[in-house]
Amino acid sequence: MNVSRETQLLQQFAVLLRKWNPAINLVSPNTVSEIESRHIEDSLQISAFAAGASDWTDIGSGGGLPGLVLAISRPALAVTLVESDQRKSAFLRTAIRELGLNNVRVICDRIEAVDPLGAANLSARALAPLPLLLSYAVRHLDPAGTAWLMKGKNWAPEVEQARVDWVFDVESYPSKTDPDAVILKIAGIKHV
């Protein structure tokens, strides 16, 4: 049976997540049995939005979801992972090395301490409420850049709350893995 390189790498990535998770909690222990369906498949949704992109920044990368999944599925894409936790950054570097990914770099620092990255595209998954996420996004996006934010069932109230202090254009795309979740495409972010 022929298995694509992408499928092999995603399977290896799942093995690494399971191996490291007990020590540093990369995903909720309750969801370890669902790494492929809940975490990797969920993160693969971002890949469709990366078609034609040349660079991508993933903030609060944690266990590499969606950043490493994106780097695996789009090998021509230059991916920057920003993660402040030293242990999670060590995991990310180990995964990059063991998976043979040469299109990824890791910045181990707090998002707000990293010099602005000027990213064309930026993603975050399970990181922070939208008002705070927008402050991170505006810092690291190119003014013409787009944020791709994976949000759960409370996404609509978060959008309304964010509009108190921020002006932005938003489109929502339903999640294929969770009927209550969406991927928000946000551009034109400006503080009120």
Cβ neighbourhood burial of 54 (10 Å; 0-12, 13-18, 19+): exposed
How much is the pTM? 0.95
Q: Could you give the CA distance from residue 2 to residue 186 in angstroms, rounded to a whole number?
A: 38
User: Residue 125, annotated ligand binder?
Assistant: yes
Q: 30 or 156: which carries more pLDDT confidence?
A: 156
Render pLDDT for 93-112 as a digit per residue (tens, 0 to 9). Answer: 999 999 999 999 999 999 99
Render pLDDT for 160-187 as a digit per residue (tens, 0 to 9). Answer: 999 999 999 999 999 999 999 999 999 9
User: Residue 18, annotated ligand binder?
Assistant: no
Q: Say yes or no to pLDDT of 2 above 70.
A: no
CATH code for 5-191? 3.40.50.150
Domain boundary assignment for the chain: 5-191
User: Residue 112, annotated ligand binder?
Assistant: yes
Tokens standing for 7? 């499928």
Q: Give the chain's mean pLDDT.
A: 95
